[in-house]
Amino acid sequence: MTEILNYDLVVVGGGPAGMAAALAAKDNGVPEEKIIVLERDVRLGGILEQCIHTGFGLTYFGEELSGPEYADRFVKLMDETKIAVKLNTMVLNITKENQVIATNKEDGLITINAKAIILAMGCRERPRGALDIAGSRPAGVMSAGQAQKFVNIDGYMPGHEVVILGSGDIGLIMARRMTLEGAKVKVVCEVMPYSGGLQRNIVQCLEDFDIPLRLSCTVIKVHGRDRVEGVTIANVDDHMLPIPGTEEYIPCDTVLLSVGLIPENELSKQIDLDMDMITRGPKVDEMRMTSQPGVFACGNVLQVHDLVDFVTQESQIAGKGAAQYISGLRHEGVIKTRGQNGVRYTVPQSINLDEKEDVKIYFRVGNVYHDKRVVVTCGDKVLFNRKKIKLAPGEMENVIIKAADIAEMTADQEIVVSIEEA
């Protein structure tokens, strides 16, 4: 027997994105008792619960918080409302009619009729299987986030001698965390010629502890039968292929992978949303509505962010958009956005022509650039032209499109963001 519930808004995911979206929907007029958040973990907060380091909240709250503290600000706000929360609840499917099918131990199977849905499932780490590393399959190889959960939530040290592949921020943060807990982090290998993490993390997580960072270097083999005994690393050429003769054996019992994050879009693909091949998230308009009317997406499920503060801001846009949709607002006609000349993607991928407010377009570049200009055009018109001292793939950028400019646009045009010579 399936229980059928009726809500105006169903939010899938109770991390920073889901909480901010639910609260923003309430603030924009959706009755709070008509909003429900579905979370698969035992508590709200999402991945912030295991991100115990500080550096969160400087943009949004103007103070430096740890991950759990940042999450708690929103958990407390949620507690003050009548927004329903179901924990330990897994969403299985969403239908074309915006029905959400979920399950948990208490309720069994639940069907929720929704006027609007916000997808806020976050992202997951790229696994070993995606890396094609040769060698055996011993215990001790795990993603940096998995190790982070072991240490910070379960209070369990997963190893003593560590090699980290990939210089993403989680890998850098875990290099410091494992070192402080007594492990020896022997090296961080990065296949690219530049780090994927923030500069501050290179300084305070690696340099502070004399942990070497080897660029253009990768793990080519994992050794060991039951447990990792070591890895072979090698330098790579311009095509990221190992250079013969540069192999080096490093004994270790643990290999952490920090090689990128992938938006968790199984649900989005199930319901056939138009996906962006670069962001790996759904394509959205400026209110973060996807190709299925009434279905919105925000946070890391839409695009992987550097800072949770920007996740919060984006989710508030989605919450407001969902509220407007529930109240009956519909748009006609969009103008598309795209990147070129080194701009890998733009979010949102389209803007409604009747948008009355300024719109921020977020983008990432595909390489490290110095002293270039970010130029935004629409037809012959230059909308934005500003010099940037540095652009890097690890840092999300944004440009503001003025409402007055949007008012003059037509559907056959497109907004193009590009990198030009200074």
Partner 1 sequence: MTERKLICVACPRGCPITVYMDDSGEITKVEGNTCPRGDTYARAEVTHPERSLTSTVKVTGGKHYVVPCKSSTAIPKELLFDAMVEINKASIAAPVHIGDVIIKDILGTGADIVATNEID
Binding residues for partner 1 (CB under 8 A): 42, 49, 52-55, 58, 64, 66-69, 72, 75, 151-155, 180-182, 198-200, 202-204, 208, 306-307
Q: Of 55, 3, 29, 201, nearest to 115 (Cα)? A: 29
Q: What is the DSSP letter of 260?
A: -
Provide, rounded to whole angstroms, the least separation between the CB of residue 365 and partner 1.
Answer: 17
Provide, rounded to whole angstroms, the least separation between the CB of residue 111 and partner 1.
Answer: 30
Confirm if 67 and 116 have CB atoms less than 8 A apart.
no
Cβ closest to partner 1, residue 87 vs residue 101: 87
Q: How far is CA 180 from the centre of its chain?
A: 27
Burial annotation 108-126 (CB, 10 A radius, 16+ → b, else e): eebebebbbbbbbbbbebb
Provide, rounded to whole angstroms, the least separation between the CB of residue 263 and partner 1.
Answer: 21
Cβ closest to partner 1, residue 129 vs residue 155: 155
Coil/strand/helix, residue 67: helix
Cβ closest to partner 1, residue 134 vs residue 389: 389
Provide, rounded to whole angstroms, the least separation between the CB of residue 210 and partner 1.
Answer: 12
Provide, rounded to whole angstroms, the least separation between the CB of residue 198 and partner 1.
Answer: 5
Burial annotation 268-307 (CB, 10 A radius, 16+ → b, else e): beebebebbeebbbbbbbbbbbbbbebbbbbbbbbbbbeb
Cβ closest to partner 1, residue 143 vs residue 179: 179
Cβ closest to partner 1, residue 67 vs residue 122: 67
Cβ closest to partner 1, residue 151 vs residue 317: 151
Provide, rounded to whole angstroms, the least separation between the CB of residue 203 and partner 1.
Answer: 5
Confirm if 163 and 187 have CB atoms less than 8 A apart.
yes
User: Distance of CA 234 to CAs 175, 224, 237, 255, 256, Å?
Assistant: 20, 18, 10, 15, 17
Cβ closest to partner 1, residue 325 vs residue 363: 363
CA-based R_g, the chain, Å: 23
Q: How many CB atoms lie within 10 A of CB 378?
A: 20
Instruction: Identify any residues that bridge with 163 across adjacent strands, giving them in sequence order.
Output: 187, 255
Provide, rounded to whole angstroms, the least separation between the CB of residue 399 and partner 1.
Answer: 18
Question: Cα–Cα distance between 377 and 398 in angstroms, integer?
Answer: 14
User: Distance of CA 315 to CAs 257, 281, 339, 377, Å?
Assistant: 28, 14, 23, 27
Provide, rounded to whole angstroms, the least separation between the CB of residue 348 and partner 1.
Answer: 23
C-alpha neighbours within 13 Å on the C-beta side of residue 127: 3
Cβ closest to partner 1, residue 265 vs residue 303: 303
